[in-house]
């Protein structure tokens, strides 16, 4: 039997424990809600190395207009970005590729539903003030200079980065264009020690004079204040007018599965963007992509950084786009991709 005094103490004690229990539950729920809000306010973006400069500017402006949102940018070769999702199960909210076909080939339909094409670029040969034979290099003799044993050049890995396989396509087209038999094999057999996972990894090598030239996108040269030798439109993968010529060059790269190979065919450069199925913050991701594709916001910054807009461009996945993004694309057409000249 509990003494009367103890009973009088027990009731308030039980009530206090109950209130504390309820309070703890409220605190737990509050913490959980705060965590969810914090997660929704964080955006993870995987992007091609060639998008590093414009995407930093776009992310900064997006965060300025969306207080409390934090955008985490992670640059890599576009194919590496896609494999982080498909092979490693990494979660991200947005992936932007330097080649829209990377999304089609490695992510759709298992890891993404749609793909919006948004910008273009062109291949160039980039060099520094102290690059050997830079005073004499021209659009007519660059291949002779790059074959000089005293000259070193770098390129990115075709299996990891679109700039890598576009380099291969460019030199294959150059062999035909300049009429030099065996040119592609000779160039591609040289300087293997200077192959890197993504094109921007080569910039420090140029700055330290370890190499003299880089096969690189023109936009990256412009963004970093480097010299760029512009290549003829017949080989630079820029112009829709030469799409048929570009298509005569092909290269094999790794496919979805280990040991599998897929063929990349020469085509005008087109960047693509999507939101993966595993996006932690899909609604915020749509807001970011909409910001990116807005002509007066993201695309204005892309243009300023030397990567012309092609928005709205045709997409095969138009019927699967989020409603908020329909205005930034168009249904597929038989004539293919519209690339600005």
pLDDT digits (tens, 9 = 90+) for 51-70: 999 999 999 999 999 999 99
Looking up tokens 């910054």 gives 301
Q: Which of 275, 286, 291 is nearest to 63 (CA)?
A: 291
Q: Taking the alpha carbons of 41, 42, 45, 50 in that order, is the dihedral positive or negative? A: positive
What's the CA gap between 123 and 303, in Å, rounded?
17
Instruction: Enter the pTM of the model.
Output: 0.84
Residue 259 has a pLDDT of 86
Q: Give the chain's radius of gyration (CA, Å).
A: 26
Residue 334 has a pLDDT of 60
The per-type count for the chain, helices as H runs and strands as E runs, is 12, 14
Residue 41 has a pLDDT of 86
CA neighbours closer than 13 Å in the CB half-sphere of residue 252: 3
What's the CA gap between 323 and 151, in Å, rounded?
52
Residue 146 has a pLDDT of 98
Task: Provide the phi-psi class of 306: left if phi over 0, else alpha when psi is between -120 and 50, else beta.
Answer: left
Give, in order, the Cα–Cα distances in Å from 158 to each of 2, 95, 199.
Answer: 81, 19, 10
Q: Which of 183, 176, 166, 165 is nearest to 234 (CA)?
A: 176
Contact between 24 and 18 under an 8 Å Cβ cutoff? The reply is no
Residue 4 has a pLDDT of 44
Torsion angle (degrees, nearest 10) of CA 289, 291, 296, 300: -60
Residue 36 has a pLDDT of 53
For residue 269, report the phi and psi dihedrals to the nearest 5 degrees.
-65, 135
Going by C-beta distance under 8 Å and a sequence separation of 6 or more, which residues neighbour residue 143? 171, 174, 178, 180, 183, 187
CA-based diameter of the chain, in Å? 108
Q: Taking the alpha carbons of 324, 327, 333, 337 in that order, is the dihedral positive or negative? A: negative
Torsion angle (degrees, nearest 10) of CA 325, 76, 53, 60: 60
Residue 120 has a pLDDT of 97
What's the CA gap between 339 and 199, in Å, rounded?
23
Q: Which domains are delineated in the chain?
A: 41-120+271-330 (3.40.190.10), 123-253 (3.40.190.10)
- Residues of the chain scoring pLDDT < 70: 1-40, 334-341
Contact between 329 and 318 under an 8 Å Cβ cutoff? The reply is yes
């Amino acid at each position: 039997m509990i003494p009367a005094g103890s009973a009088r103490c027990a009731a308030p004690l039980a009530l206090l424990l109950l209130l504390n229990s309820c309070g703890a539950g409220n605190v737990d729920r509050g913490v959980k809600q705060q965590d969810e809000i914090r997660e929704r306010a964080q955006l993870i973006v995987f992007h091609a190395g060639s998008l590093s400069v414009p995407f930093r500017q776009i992310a900064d402006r997006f965060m300025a207009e969306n207080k409390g949102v934090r955008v985490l940018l992670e640059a890599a070769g576009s194919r590496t970005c896609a494999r982080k999702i498909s092979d490693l199960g990494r979660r991200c909210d947005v992936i932007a590729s330097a080649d829209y076909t990377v999304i089609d080939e490695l992510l759709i339909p298992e890891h993404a539903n749609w793909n919006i094409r948004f910008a273009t670029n062109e291949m160039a040969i980039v060099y520094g003030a102290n690059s050997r034979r830079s005073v004499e290099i021209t659009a007519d003799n660059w291949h002779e200079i790059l074959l000089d044993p005293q000259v070193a050049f770098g390129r990115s890995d075709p299996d990891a980065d679109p700039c890598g396989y576009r380099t291969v396509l460019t030199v294959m087209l150059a062999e035909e264009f300049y009429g030099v038999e065996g040119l592609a094999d000779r160039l591609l057999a040289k300087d293997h020690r200077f192959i890197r996972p993504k094109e921007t990894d080569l910039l420090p090598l140029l700055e330290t004079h370890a190499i003299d030239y880089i096969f690189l996108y023109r936009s990256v040269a412009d963004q970093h204040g480097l010299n760029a030798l512009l290549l003829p439109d017949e080989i630079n993968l820029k112009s829709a007018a030469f799409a048929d010529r570009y298509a005569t060059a092909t290269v094999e790269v790794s496919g979805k599965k280990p040991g599998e190979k897929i063929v990349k065919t020469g085509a005008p450069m087109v960047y693509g963007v999507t939101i993966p199925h595993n996006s932690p913050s899909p609604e915020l991701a749509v807001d970011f992509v909409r910001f990116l594709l807005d002509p007066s916001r993201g695309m204005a910054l892309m243009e300023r950084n030397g990567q012309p807009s092609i928005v709205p461009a045709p997409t095969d996945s138009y019927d699967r786009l989020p409603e908020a993004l329909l205005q930034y694309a168009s249904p597929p057409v038989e004539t293919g991709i519209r690339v600005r000249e």
